[in-house]
Structures are given as structure tokens and as C-alpha cells.
Structure 1
Amino acid sequence: MLSLRLDSIRAALAALALLAAPVMAQAPVEGTSPATAPTEPAAPVEAPAPVEATAPTEDPHPSPLPEGEGADTGSEDEMMAESATPPPGFTGVYGQVTDAQTKETLIEATVKVVAGAQKSVLTDVDGNYRLALPPGKYDLRVFYDVYEGRRITGVVVEEGKATRLDVQLSADAGAVQEVVVEARADRRAEGALLQERKKAAAVSDAISSQEMSRTPDSSASDAVKRVVSATVVGGRYVLLRGLGGRYSTTLLNGAILPSPEPDEQAVPLDIFPTSLLANLNILKSYTADLPGTFAGGVLLIETNNYPSQFEFKPRISFSGDTASTFRDRFTYNGGGLNWLGFDDGTRKLPDSVPRTGPLLPGQNGMTVDDVNRVGRDFPNIWTLETARALPNLGIGASIGDTLRFDNKRLGYLAMVNYGHKESVQLTDVTGTQAAQGGGVTIEDTSRNVLGTESASLSGLVSAGFQPSRDFELSLFSLFTRTGESRARSIAGADAQGQQFSKTASEFTSRALTFNQLRGFHRLNVLGDMEVDWQANYSYVDRSEPDTRSLPYGYTESGTRRYNNDPGAERWYSELGESSFGGSANATLPLSGVRLRVGGMAQGSMRALDMRRFRYQYVGGNLPVLNQGPEDIFASDNIGNGIRVMENTLSDDAYEATLGLFAGYATADVSLWEPLRLVAGLRYEASIQRLTSGSDFGGRADPKEANQDYRDFLPTLNVIYALNPQLNLRAGYSYTLARPTFRELAPVLYYDFVRNRSVSGDPTLVQTRIHNVDARAEWFPGENDVLAASVFYKRFQQPIERIIVSSFQQDVSFDNAPGATSYGVELEARTSLGRLTPTLAPLRVGANLTLTRSEIDLGDSAPLQTNQQRPLQGQSPYVVNLNLGYARTESGTEISLLYNVVGARISEVGIEGLPDVYEQPFHRVDLTVGQKLSDSLQLKLAATNILNQPVVFRQGDVDVLKYRPGVAFSASLGWSL
């Protein structure tokens, strides 16, 4: 934390982006600085002369360049601190300046020669300084705002020798604090995140808003794949170290975030535009203050906070791709608000459909005529239309400021974004059967043509009030929503040449509302104890109104004919989940030990309701089967050869609750510097209840799944600082993974693309995981890092997705006896200016993850073809490369990026069918940013330049393949 006089604000603000002090709404980042001394001095060190601690004769709280000292005669380069360890042959003084009580390093403290020469230097971000001086005897003065200055006399410098002089400054108790500035590092900046990572308790990796701006990524799902060992499935779900869903937790500003998906535990990251994000941080080793659901890691989403001064930033972007833009796409009449991502009521369930029981004769007092009358009220819209796919549009704006009055501050930030996208996707799908002797034979082939129109809306409001340096209150609200209308046409033939076709129309909306109140207090007890707390409420909603599916077959003469089995279907589903809770933490800075204790409570309530309706030919009026769909289902035909009946399943609805209660304690021990131990224990209790059963299904016998667990979760992280820039880390933890609501619920959810159903299993039990991590990381510069990591995980009763029907290949879930996963991660980021100043504008970065895993199936899945195989979704390797060029003078920034993920199991094969593997996708992206003026920025981007296809392969057959195309985008942003 900084407390500054008015005359020192200018110098202090330049250092704020580098500080790791408390954020206005959060407690300070835990951790102590690494060891201060290099392992070996570059030359013999002269013992310093006796230190004379004196009060400064000038202003007791001098600025870095106080009046009366005279102008510094050193060059501008000499005013900046250099690296801690001098090169061989260095002549002069070097060392580190720290706080005498806390041992924290002091950034931009002034070390000034006051006798023997006129020269000064500022310490760097680790408190290190270096002064090149000719041989002689000198008096030095070291001072820092609101600290008592120190004068060191008689410092002897010899030719070719480096004299080490570490200085500790004590706070000036009598300092008059006219202005108080509290800040932490700007977590949108790459350098700030690296500094935080260096001092963090856990193994972590992150991508900052600054790094995201150099890529063409428009959403969090695009950006997160740049992080070491993070991969994305389906364009929206993140896997950490090859593990996702139940094995990972997503936290939004520290609070657990629920998923709006009925069949996925993972939060769909495509609902978060990158413009809302300050950073994405992945914690890979566990600490006790995190939720106990941990294996792959924890994804921390941190949204933008209010700026320190007024800013208004509007922006607009256009994009398109070679597969979609200006091509014809399928669509259908779904209402007039598709462009906003809303249904205007066109797709709603007719009011005449009973809400207290199924649409069947004999139910709710209904006769056959009553059912036919209601059946005529459904919209008779089945035929797909075509429209030209226009370029995609994105617009947004943000406004924020921090208002200061007396010693108080009020900050605010408001953001809004809108995006509209139209796309075309041509997918080749091949159905397979197991061949005698191994391999597969082709059962059928089809072409799936999908037209999509999607719209997204998001908004963010953040406000914080700080009446004093010891108290702050902040409020945060986020709303994000996506609506997607899809029209699909499928045409193909089976192995005997019999043709078939199907059309489908769908609309899905997903919305998230998140509200959080946070507080921070510094109490003058037990050595300035700090207390932070948060309370949150969120609601997620997923709506799928009036999804329609219409199948056709063909006669031997080639005439198209309505396929009565399974027949036309339409269904409506609604999922809502409310989540609420809070947490509180207290941090006690004891001597050499930082103790942190806290607790949390979080509750979730979810409900899923689904209704299905089927159109069935029941005889008579035979010619109607050869007509178009609007003719087949015309009002005159309902009750005349065609009937509408409800076929909702008994398990097509469920209600579920989850209660989590936890308490923890951690001790951050730095008594034996440079060794640091962070040990903790978490006790977590969970109560999970699920009851399935639909009032509109054929049976009324509900199914229940009740699970109660009490778990102790120990964790230990060890950090050894070989020097201020080099850390060795090791960690162990014992964590868990619970089955999700979707995995417990025996609800059938239909997969259109693969023509199969997915259902849950109420008998699933939770998984326990042993986690071991080790890492060596070196931070040679502010934005540079070199790291190598290894990890090992042992799973007890892991939950796997398995195929349970050899004919329809339907999917469910089961506990396997065990599994192991282990791997290596390598990362490097640096400027080529280290080689020669000419290459200073160039930056390079690379990361590589190599992973192996094996699951022990035991007798749990006898149908599976491979009893020894990797974990589903586990990639053997992930590679990211990037080359960047930035020239400040011209405002030009160019980035070339490459990403590839190794083949991973998408579906587990049974009864001789090979496993289905998603093949590697080599993605090359290019971005060019140009500053047109002080307030105007242009950004151009091209993605998937190699025009790679997405391929899923079973044996030697491509069962699914499509090309997303080469995409281009242009965006223009103002900063006013």
C-alpha cells in the first residue's frame, strides 16, 4: 500500500501498475517476497561501513527527487534500477531496499550518493538497485515516502569489485498522510500478472486483458486456449490438463458460477466477451481457500474494475468467414426478434395445451376431439427457408471513473456489448457398425447443412466506495445472454442405398445474471488483521422452445414420403438454477506467519422441465404422406389420418438442490527464508438432492438421488526462492469431484448431430483425487517467464461417459474403479531484445503440454472395446506458439499465433467399435493493430488461416467432418 504526499503522486502513479497491494474490493495478495540475496556475488564484496540512521534534514517524507538536492547528474538510463546481480568486473554498489518490519521490497525507493559524487537511482519492482561508481569513498542516502530516511557513510568502492549494501527502512510514525492512494497491480497487464504469479502460493497460469487484445479472440472460450494446458471442446467448454466438467470449477470474481447447460457441468465460456474481462487465471495446485471440486484446476474469471480516471470507450467490429459470409443459409420463421436473440412468443407452447397433465385423451377430462382441437393450435411452420448470411457485427461501449472527495473515493464502471452472427456449417456424418475381425463398416452417410443466426447481449456494472483506507464496499452486477436460432437439413443414404432426409429447427437461449456485494476491512488488532467477505446471488436460465424435427424417407421410385417412425416431433424445455451464498475470510499477519481462516456457504436450486409432442399417422387419408409438411399437418388433417399426442417421458423433469458448507485454515510460513510453506486444511460438507419425475409423463413414480458427504481436504504447497527471480514449487492435495445434476438425472437428452440420447445415473458416487505438482519458474524480466512443471493425479472412482446401447449408441455415465494422469508443461515468454536492441520490438512465446493417462475400467464397462485407454477428453499434447511485434513510436502491433491439440477420445467404443477420436486441429491466427490517433485504434485479424477441418475419426473412418472456414475481422475502438 502507498501513502503519498501531493508532491509525490506523479512518481507513485507510475509505480501503481507494478504493485501487488490490496485492490479496493479485495484483501492484499498473499505472499512474501523471495529471498533477497543472490547465491553468489559477481565479485568480492566489501563489507559496508557502519550504518548511521539519521532523520533527513530536508522534508521528513521526501519525494524520489526532493527539492534542495540538486539535479541528478547521471544519465536517464542510470536513473532506472538494473538487475540485482552485477556482471563480472562491475565496480560500484548494489543491493535491495526493504521494509524493516514486513520485509516487503520497496519499489522506486531512492538511493542517492550525497558525498563523493552526485548520482542516484530508483529501485526496481523487486526493490533491487545498482549504482556504477568509480573507486572511492562515498556517503549514501536512502529514502522513500512516509519512511524514515537512512544515511550510510564511508562506503568504500574498489576497482572491479561490487559492494553489496542491503538497506531496511522503518516507517515514519509521525508522517502526515495528506493523500492516501491504495491500489494493486493492474491485473489487466501481462507484467502485473507475472509479478503476482511469482509471489502466489499455488501453481498458476493466466492470460491478461493486454494479451487478449493482441489476439483475434472475441470470447473467453477463444482466449483461454492460449493458457498452458487449457483446451476447449465444442467452442465453449474448457478442459484443464485434459479434465473438464465435474473436475473443474469456474469462479467469477471469487464466487462459484453455475452452468446454464442441462447436459454439461462446465460453464460455457462463449457467453463472456473478452471486453468484459480483466484476466483469466488458472490455478493448477490446490489451496484450502478454494472449493473442494478440483482436479484439472480452477478457472478464475476476473472482470474489469473501475478505472482510476474518467474514460469512455466505444467500439465496433465486423467479421466474416469463407464458409458462411454471403452464402445462402437455412432459416425459418421464428419471430421478429431473432436479431436480438429473443423469442417474441412465436415459439411458445400454445395456451390451449393443458398445464396440469398430458395432452392425451382421458387425461384432464379431454376427449379425442379436444386433443385434436389443441393439436391444431401448434404453429404449422416446418419448411426451411433460405437467406443470405451477412457479415457479423459487434458493438459495445464502456464508461467509468473514480471520484475523489476529501479522503474518500467512489469508483464506477458500466459496460454494454451486443453481437450478431450468421453462419453456415456443412458437416459430413458417417454412421458405423463393428466389422467382423475388427474395425468398422459404414452403415449410412449424410450431409448435415446447418444455418445459424445468433445474438448476444451483455452488460456489467461495478461500483465501489472507500470512505477510509481501512474500509471498502463494492457492488458488482453482470448480465450476459445469447440466443441462437438454428435450421438444419440432413440428407443421406444407408448402406443399401435407401435415401432419407430430415429437417430440424431449434432456438436456444442461455442467460446468466450474477450479483455480488464485497467488503474489505483492516482492523487495528493482532497486527492489522484484514477481513474480506462477499455475498452473491446468481440465476442461470436455458430455454429451448419448440424444437422441431421432421423425418422423410423415399420410396423405390424416389418419391419422398413422410417417415412415421419415429415421426415428426416437437419439444419444449426450460432449465433454471438459482445460486446464492457468501464467504468470509480473516488474514492475520503474525511474525513470519500469515494465518488465513474463513468459511463459506453456497446453495443451488435447479429445475428442468421438458415436454414432447409427436405427430403420428394413424390410418386413412394415405395421400397426405407424400405431401409437403405444411400440407401434412394442416388443420384439416389433424384428426383425419394425423393425430398429435404427448409423448413426454416420466423422467423428462427433475428438481435438484445442492448445499455446500466449508471452513478452512491456511498458514503461510516464511520463517526460514528463502523457504516458504503454505499448509492448509479444508472441511467441506455437501448435501445433494435430486428428484425426477414429470407430471406429463406416462408414469408418476419419481426417482430420487440423495448424496451426503463430509470431506477433509488437506493441502501443502512449498516454495523455495533460489533468488528473487527463480522459484521452485511443489504441492500435494487430496480433493474431490461430485457427480453433476445432469449425470445423476435419468433424463434423456437428444443429440441431433449423432442421433442418440444421453441420460444420467442416480447411483453415481463422488470421485476422490490425489494431486501432486512441481514447478521451476524463472522471471528474468517484467514480462518474461521460463517455467517447467510436472504433475501426477490418481483418481478413485472417476466418472466416465460410456455407451450403453450397441444399436443406438446411447450414452450414460458410470464410476470406473480408478485412473491416473500425469504430464509435463513447458512455457517460455521473452523479448528478443535480450539478444540485440535491434530486436527489442519482437516478443516470442511458446508453451507445450505433454500428458498421458490411463483408466482402470475393472468390470464396470464390459461392453467397451478397449479396456485400457486414455481418459475421455485427454489430449496427449497441446502446443501454443506466438510471435509478436510492437513499435510504440508508430502504434503498430502484430501477432502471429499457432495452436494445436492432440487427438483425444470423444466417444468410447463398445462391442468391437473403435473409440471415436477428435483429430488435431492446427490453428494459425494473425492480428494487426494500428493506433490511428491518441484516441483511435484499428485492429484487423484473420483466424484459421490454414483452413483446417474439424474431424472426428473412428478407426479409419471419418464419422464427422466440417470446415469452419477462414475468418476475418476488423474492429475500431475509441478512447475518450
Structure 2
Amino acid sequence: MKRPANRFLLKPLNLAVIAGLCVPAATALAQSEEDKVIEEVVATGTRLKGTASAVMQERKNQAFVADIMGAEQISRTGDGDAASALRRVTGLTLVDGKFIYVRGLGERYSSTQLNGASVPSPDPTRNVIPLDLFPADIIESLSVQKSFSPSMPASFGGGNVDVRLKSIPTESVLNFSLSTGYNSENSDNGLTYNGGDDDWLGKDDGTRAAPEAILERWESKDFLDNLDQATALDLFSQVKRSYGPKEDSIGPDAGFSLTAGDSVDLTDKWRVGYLLTSAYDSETEVSQEYELQQADRVQDDIIISRFFDEINTTERTVQWSTLLNLGIDYDRKHRIDYSLIVLNDTKDEISEKFGHTENLSVSEGVRIRDMEVQYEERTLYTNQFKGMHTFPELNFAGLDWYYSLGRSVRYAPGSMEARFIIEDQDQDGLFGGSDPISLIDAQTAGRYSFQNLHDRVENYGYNFNYPMTLGRWETEFKFGADFVTKTRTAENRRFDVNTLAFANREDLLGDNFGDILSDDVLANGEFNDNRPIIRDTTIAGDDYVAGQKLDAYYFEADFFFDNKWRFTGGVRWEDFRQVVAPFDPRSNQIDIDDEADRSQLAFEEDAFYPALALTYFLNDDMQLRASVGETVVRPDLREVSSATYIDPLTEFPIAGTPGLKTTDIVNYDLRWEWYREAGNNLSVALFYKDMTSPIESVQSPAQDGPPLIRIANAESGEVLGVEVEFLQGLEIFGDGIWDNLFTSGNITISDSEIVLDRQNIVEQTGVSTAITNTTRRLTGHSEYVVNLQLGYDSDNGEHSASLVYNVFGERILIPGIDGFDDNYEKPFHSLDTVYKYYPDFNTTITLKLKNILGEEKEIEFEDTLLRSETKGTEISLSYKYNF
């Protein structure tokens, strides 16, 4: 069966909504005139400190506070993608392996760019792009600008992350690498099920997708409501049911990459080049988890009423990427580059959960067993053009321009879940062995979900800069524009399996979903005619269409006085428009009747955002810089829709709030920097952020199931802290081994506070929130972040090693209600080591150990465990050869 890549069509009304909304210089080449014989000169230095010098030089030259991480630094720490690498940057923490929190502010407070351009997100729950999509092999550098400058998007509070991909090389490049790895948690058998033939490619071959007959009914608005039993059985017989699970041994991880590139001179003035890199990686992770869903308080005691105390999960990820760069250069003054980026990340997870609910517990002589399969493909396609032009005849004025068109797709055709009941037949309080197990007899014994999300982002702009010299003043004026148009369509279909359709409950006995509901049973079993075996549970708001349009213009001026002072300032003007429209899938009409509520789904604002920076050069290698800037944080697309969605981080349902306000932020930064010999450096920074109406998460009391999280505005908020960063060779302690060692790291200590008003939040969200702490830290904020590294480089250059440590302080993930304290993610002490061996000039062998301490991920409240997940220790080995 062919995969139905996009069966949910964009309807005319959706188009109408969107239509209404949208009313570094090239490397110079040098050649000596004649060959000369010179004495051999040997330069020594560590690999990291050599590349760090270049990175530090770029950071030193920035007018506004920024941190930059180069490709060699990423390789040194052994991180596999942009998200993992960025947690090494000062003040940054990683959440869910995908999203970066800058200075304790959630991902909504940071903007992400790819090669300086906006790109779409394939994550349906967030407006920002998951940074784990970008493998380390294609990254040239990562730039995190922490203070606002007019040339960057004004919609950020913590910082702007720019993922810079590799460009065409200055010389011929051809290499390949192979890798394999294993996780200590995979030593026992893991859970598997019968998937598709193309799973190794990260592609569903149609096995999990909804069958053609059901897709046709959904498209024609003939939903699976009130079916007669014969039709229901016929439709369900075409759906995949053989999900298992079963236990099997887990093989090792595997990956490879191939890179080829070159640049040649066509004439004295024309030069062309290309770079092609492709990579593939397949990993499997087995974990044991714990999940508390509801707790009750009886006087001073906490009673656990709904939980899963034994969860076995196996997650397989398949990632592949392709990057193609083409470039042409004329006379080292004009250059045009084209980039094609294709990234795919597929997650295939199966879990088996054992636990209790209020009505199904040990006291009732039963225990529940849930099995769940989650399968999703996230794909990003981006085409980018950019030009860089220098005009010597105009005092070396420069013009840069870019055009980016990106599309992201999240295709989730295979999510299903089912619930079983284990009876304590011998009443010994133990479950297993000969105790009978059966599929639960209920309307919601199983559920199938089919989801599709499409994002499209078009971004283009230009920047013109003009330098001037006026006596002791060196100046540069810059102005430009930035235009972004984003559209999103999302559709979700689901149906439930109703086992009340069975006339004989004994037919539900067994622990395998596919066997209980086999083709033979569906064809020959006894069923109740008035209870169809499947019923459509697609609800209003499962479909939505959204769009954004941003027009921005900026002016910036940079003044150097007497090589001692630098004054930089400017202003950005943004005109922002956004609309989000939830639809009733059965009627394709907007799912809001009240005109006043409908008006809250559209948002428009325009404002000026100024920024000013001052740098004082204490001497050639030391400087003091200060900056202030005004920025804004706007709600995500889903956060202004009342539709409910599941947060993959907490697995709690989240509902947006129409009429959500934007957050205004005033940012203050002060940093002292000392750049010393051989890449050694030291910096100390102070920062403060004053926030008006910060966007925050609040919790509503649970009815049946996990609590509902709502998005609302707090009254005010602030963040303040200090950052220290350093890199130092240990030769200061003496000769010998000390010459080969260096240490680097960063420490951030900060605090935050928001003030919430219960009544205002009730009025804004329309539901009771029963907030426990009306004054607390920001969600996701850690009071400290520590990154430390001890590095070694051998004298002969054949060996290098790093020991890397990272930890973040506890942070609120779920705010508390009903007198319960906030839920905190506990510190995770990550200790990794990377060893590299260079047996010859062309070969690199890398050995990595991750999470050596075997830490677990834990979330707690009042010393009570809410979530836990084992992570295991990973070991990997890779071989790279340069031709």
C-alpha cells in the first residue's frame, strides 16, 4: 500500500483565512612569486585552543553580547546534534533533548534561525524548531546572541540561536565515516512489534496509515459515526492491529556519513565550488520509567491514586540528512551561494505500562496494563539563496541579501494505545504467571490516531552597510529589511475501539491486541449489533489553520572612537500579524460561535524596538561592554487557540487561551572580557530582564486523567544573574604533562520571579486554576548551570581526550495547584568522555562514553516522585577517513 503523504486537503476556507492574513567574505588566495627554502618551524598548541582562538575573535568583534561554538568544539565534546552541543554554551540548558532554554527562559523566549533565516517547525506543540534535527556533521558553528541588536528578530527574550551550516570548502574535501554504539540499558531484551519494510529508512510504507476506505470517508465528511456493525467490522479489519508487543534482543546502533566538496578557479576572477554531505544514523534506547498521574492530600499525607509504577519503553530513532551547497565568486567581491537542506528524524516508540487507577487497583483485585505505540516522521526541506557583495568604489560598502523557502512536515500515521486488565485470581496480591489478562471491556479499550502537520515559511531580506572614517572616528551605518510569511495546517483524526461490541466477554482474554482482534475473530465472532466496534472520536479543534506575516525594517550605526570606545545603536520596526482558526472537522467551519471569541484569534501589532551597546577597550586584549534593548515575546500559534493538544515533554494535555497578551521585555547586559594568548580567555557577565505580562503555564484541576495545563499571562516577571566563562591551559602549573592539558567551562547563577493573579487568570482562561504559588520562579528556570571540561592533547598530535561535565539546577516543569507544590525536574549530572586517535593524517578514530554516572531523569514535588526515566550509559565508536 502506498503511503498517503497528504490526504487531508487544504480547504478553500483555510486558504481564505491565510489570504486574509497576508492582506563572511570569501577566503582570499595568495601565491608566492617564487619558491623559497626556509627553516622548519614547528608550532604547538591544542586543537581546541586553536579553533577557540578563531571563535573568540569573532565573539570579541561582536558589538552585542554573543557566544559562539565552532565545529571543532562540538566535535571535541562528542555531541551529535545542535541541541546537545548548545547545552555547553554559557547559561543554556537542554529540555527534552530538543529545545534550548537561554538564561532560564523557556523555548518560547528564544528565536531560532538557520544560516540567518527563519525556518519552519515540524513540532505541532511548539512554534520553535527542535534543534535535535540538525546533526553535528553539517554544522560549521552555532551562534547565540544574548543581547538584542536591531538587525535580528525582536521576538526573543533569552537569545537568538543561529545554526550555521557548512559552506563550500577552499580546497578539495572527500571523507566518509562509520560509527556504531550501544546503550547499557539495551543489554536486556527490549520491546518490538511488526512494523513496515521501510522502517530502517525512517519511512512508513503504509502499514500504519489509515486504510483507503477510512481516508475516503474522512475526506468526504462521512465520519465513523453511528456505523452499523457490519460496516464497522469491515473497516476495522483493514486497520493494522498486529502491534504486539513482543520482546527481542536489541542490536547495536549504526551510522555513516559521506562528504565531498571542492572549489576551483575558472579564470583569474571567477571561482566556483560545491559541498555535498549526507549522513544516516539509527539508534535504539530501552528505558524503565515511572509515571504518577494524580495524587490526593489527606491532612499531611499524600495519597497516590493513579500511577504507573512499571513502564518498559523502547524507542528507535532514524535520522538522515543531506546538505548541498553551491557557490560562485567573482573577483573576491561578489559571491552567491545556494543551499539545499533535507533533514528527517523518525521516532518509533513502543511502551508497556503497569499500574493502577482509582477504580482499577490492587484493592479491587485488578491491575491495569497499557500498551502504546507512537510513530512520527519529522522532515524539513529548505532552499536558501544568499549573496554578499562588496563595492570598493563606494568606500567598500557592502550589500548582503538572502531568500529562504522552507517546508516542514510532521507525519504521524501510527499512534495507537490499548488497555488490558490483569485479575488477581488467587488473591495473593501478586500479578502475573497464571493470572488471567484480557482487553478491557469498555468503549475506549483502544485508540488510533492519525496526524498531519505542514509548515511553510518564506523569509527574505537585505542588509546594506556603509563604512566611513571621520578623523578619529571610524563609523559604519547599516540598514535593512526582513520579511517573513508563515502558514501552517494541522489535522488530526482518531477513532476508538469499543469492546462492548463483543457479545461474549471471554473473547477478550489474552495479552496480544492483534490476536484478540484477529481477522478470524472479526469475521466469525459474535457481536452486539447496536454497539459498533469502532466509533469516531475526532473532535472540534483537531484541525486548525494558522498564519503569520512579519514586515521589519531596521537601522543601526556603529562608531569607533580613537580605538578606545565603541558605540553601537539603532532601532527596529516590526509589523506583525497572526491568525489561528480551529475547525470542526465534520463541518470544516471555524469552531468558535461567539464573534468576540473569534476576534481574539487574530492578532496584530506594530512597534519600534531600540537597542544600544557600549564597548570600552581597556587594552588590546581586554574590553568592557554594556547594552540595553527592548524586545517582545509573542504567543505561539497553538497558544492562542482553545484546542487541546498533548505536550510530549510532560504527556499532559495543554489548552491555549484566545486573547493571550504579548510579553514586553527590557534587557540589560554588562560583560567584562579578557582575551589572552593561545586562546586562553576569561569573561564575567551580569544580566537583568524586566518582563511585563510574561506568558506562563498554569494547571487546572484534573477530572479524569492527567491535569490540564493552560497558557496564561502573569502580571510581571524578572530574571537576573551572573555568568562566568573561561579557557585556560594548565602549563601554568609546570612543565611535562601540564603542557598537554587545558580546562574550560562556564558557570551561570541566576534567579527569576513572576507574580500571578488568580482572579485575572481565571477570567483569562475561563477555568479554575487553583494556583498554589502566585509568586514563583519562571517555568523551566534553573538557578545554576555548570559546564566543565578537562582536555588533553598529545605532543605528537596523535591523541586527544576530553572529560566533560554538565549539570543544571532544578527547574519547574509543571506548576502546582490545590495546595500541592510546583513539580521540579531534578538536576541531571552528565559526565561524558571523548577520546580521539589520529594514527595518520587521514584517519580519525573516536571513542565516546556518555552519561558515565548512569543518572536518571526525575521530576518531583514535595519529595514525591512524579516521573522518572532511566537513561543508561552510551558507548560509541566511529572511524573517519579523509581521502
Q: TM-score interval w.r.t. the shorter chain?
A: 0.7 to 0.9
Superposition pairs of residues 328-727 of structure 1, within 5 angstroms: 328-353=189-214, 354-358=217-221, 360=223, 369-407=230-268, 408-437=270-299, 440-446=302-308, 447-494=310-357, 496-497=361-362, 498-524=366-392, 526-555=394-423, 557=425, 559-563=436-440, 564=442, 566-591=444-469, 592-618=474-500, 620-627=503-510, 628-633=512-517, 634-636=521-523, 637=525, 640=528, 642-696=532-586, 701-702=591-592, 704=598, 705-727=601-623
- Choose the corresponding residue for 1:855, options 737, 754, 758: 754
Amino acid aligned to 2:468: L
Q: Which of the two has higher C-alpha Rg?
A: 1
- How has the CA–CA distance of structure 1 residues 889 and 188 changed in structure 2, closer, same or farther, with 3 Å as cutoff? closer
Cα pair 1:675 1:721 within 8 Å, conserved: yes
SS of 1:267's equivalent in the other structure is coil
Q: 2:626 aligns with which of 720, 730, 736?
A: 730
Q: Which residue of 2 aligns with 1:886?
A: 793
- CA distance in 2: counterparts of 1:753 and 1:191, whole angstroms: 38
User: Measured at CA, do residues 699 and 456 of structure 1 come closer, stay the same or move farther in structure 2, by a change above 3 Å?
Assistant: same
1: CA distance, partners of 2:126 / 2:27: 32
Scaled by the length of structure 1, what TM-score is found? 0.79
Q: Show CA shifts across 1:820-846 (max 9, x none).
A: 111100011021234445322211112
8 Å contact from structure 1 (residues 432, 440) kept in 2: no
Provide the rounded CA distance (Å) in 1 between the counterparts of 2:313 and 2:459: 41
**Is residue 705 of structure 2 the alignment partner of residue 823 of structure 1?**
no
AA at the equivalent of 2:375: F
- C-alpha separation between the residues in 2 aligned to 1:753 and 1:307? 39
Q: What is the alpha-carbon distance in structure 2 between the residues aligned to residue 752 and residue 226 of structure 1?
A: 24
SS for the counterpart of 2:170 is coil
Q: Is the 8 Å Cα contact of residues 25 and 464 (structure 1) preserved in structure 2?
A: no
Counterparts in 2 of 1:518 and 1:490: CA distance versus 1, 3 Å: same
Cα shift readout 1:835-863 (whole Å, capped 9, x = no counterpart): 44532221111210001001110234451
Partner secondary structure for residue 352 of structure 1? helix
Tell me which residue corresponds to 1:210. 72
Corresponding letter in the other structure for 2:506: P
Q: Does 1:228 align with 2:90?
A: yes
Amino acid at match of 2:337: S
**Whole-Å separation in 2 of the counterparts to 1:554 and 1:327:** 24
Which piece of structure 1 moves more, 703-712 or 746-755?
746-755
Letter of the 2:541 partner, please give it.
D
Other-structure match for 1:865: 772
Match of 2:113 in 1: 251
Cα deviation code 1:742-781 (max 9, x no counterpart): 2123332235886642222222121111100000000012
More displaced 10-residue stretch of structure 1: 743-752 or 205-214: 743-752
Quick check: 1:418–1:458 contact (8 Å CA) kept in 2? Answer: yes
Distance 1:232-1:696 versus aligned 2 partners, 3 A rule: same
1:135 corresponds to which residue? none
Q: What SS does structure 1 have at the residue aligned with 2:602?
A: strand
Cα deviation, residue 566, structure 1: 3.4
Q: Paired residues, what number?
A: 808
Amino-acid identity (%): 26
1:911 aligns with 2:809: no
Q: In 1, Cα distance between the equivalents of 2:244 and 2:252?
A: 25
2:731 to 809, 818, 833: 833
Whole-Å separation in 2 of the counterparts to 1:439 and 1:297: 42
- By relative contact order (CA 8 Å, sep 6+), the higher-ranking structure is 2
- Runs of at least 5 residues in structure 1 that lack an aligned partner in the other structure: 1-21, 27-60, 82-185
What secondary structure sits across from 1:256 in the alignment? coil
Name structure 2 gaps, 5 residues minimum.
1-23, 426-434, 762-768
| Distance 1:752-1:241 versus aligned 2 partners, 3 A rule | closer
Partner of 1:843: 742
AA of the residue aligned to 1:599? A
> Aligned in 2, Cα 1:638/1:797: closer, same or farther, shift over 3 Å?
farther
Give the structure with the higher percent helix. 2
- Structure 1 segment 141-160 matched on structure 2, within 5 A: none
CA distance in 1 between counterparts of 2:241 and 2:564 reads 74
- SS of equivalent to 2:452: strand
Taking a change above 3 Å as real, the CA distance of residues 630 and 943 of structure 1, as seen in their structure-2 partners, is closer
The residue type paired with residue 866 of structure 2 is V
Match for residue 777 of structure 1 among 673, 687, 694:
673
Give the conservation status (yes or no) of the 8 Å contact 1:361–1:367.
no
Distance 2:34 2:240 in 1: 78
Q: Is the 8 A contact 1:519 1:534 kept in 2?
A: yes
Q: Relative to 1, partners in 2 of residues 1:71 and 1:277: Cα closer, same or farther, differing over 3 Å?
A: closer
Given that residues 904 and 919 in structure 1 are in contact (C-alpha distance below 8 angstroms), is that contact kept between their aligned partners in structure 2?
A: yes
Q: What secondary structure is seen at the aligned counterpart in 1 of 2:54?
A: helix
Name the SS for the 1:833 alignment partner.
helix
Letter in 2 for 1:560: I
Amino acid at match of 1:562: L
Hey, what's the Cα distance between the residues in 2 that align with 1:888 and 1:635? Answer: 72
Paired amino acid for 2:754: I
Counterpart contact for 1:420–1:455, Cα < 8 Å: yes
Contact 1:586/1:596 (8 A) holds in 2: yes
Distance (Å, rounded) in 2 between the aligned partners of 1:551 and 1:815: 37
Distance 1:188-1:384 versus aligned 2 partners, 3 A rule: farther
For residues 283-333 of structure 1, the C-alpha deviation after alignment (integer angstroms, 9 at most, x for no partner) is 011100001111110111111112211111100111111111x43111111
Q: TM-score normalized by structure 2?
A: 0.87
For the residues of structure 1 that align with 2:545 and 2:266, how far apart are their CA atoms?
50
Counterpart CA distance in 2 for 1:360 and 1:938 is 57
Q: 1:741 to 1:794 in 2, by over 3 A?
A: same
Deviation at 1:546, TM superposition (A): 2.6
Task: Tell me, yes or no, if the aligned pair for 2:571 and 2:611 is still in contact at 8 Å.
Answer: yes
The worse-fitting range, judged by mean Cα deviation, of 827-836 and 235-244 is 827-836
- 1:681 Cα offset (Å): 0.1
Deviation at 1:702, TM superposition (A): 4.5
| Secondary structure in structure 2 of the residue aligned to 1:246 | helix
Aligned 8 A contact 2:376 2:414 in 1: no
Q: What residue number does 1:282 align with? A: 144
The one-letter code matched in structure 1 to 2:181 is S
Q: Hey, what's the Cα distance between the residues in 2 that align with 1:790 and 1:350? A: 58
Q: Which amino acid in 1 is paired with 2:305?
A: E
Q: 2: CA distance between counterparts of 1:681 and 1:419?
A: 44
When residues 752 and 273 of structure 1 are mapped into structure 2, their CA distance, relative to the original with a 3 A threshold, is: closer
1:262-293 CA distance string (max 9 Å, x none): 11233212211111111111101110000111
- Alpha-carbon distance in 1 for matches of 2:582, 2:757: 30
Q: Residues 157-190 of structure 1: CA distance to partner in whole angstroms, max 9, x if unpaired?
A: xxxxxxxxxxxxxxxxxxxxxxxxxxxxx99932
Deviation (angstroms), 1:805: 2.7
Larger mean CA deviation between 900-909 and 432-441 belongs to 432-441
Relative to structure 1, the CA distance from residue 556 to residue 315 in structure 2 (aligned partners, 3 Å threshold; closer, same or farther) is closer
* Residues 633-668 of structure 1: CA deviation (Å, up to 9, x unaligned): 342359546521111011001000100110000000
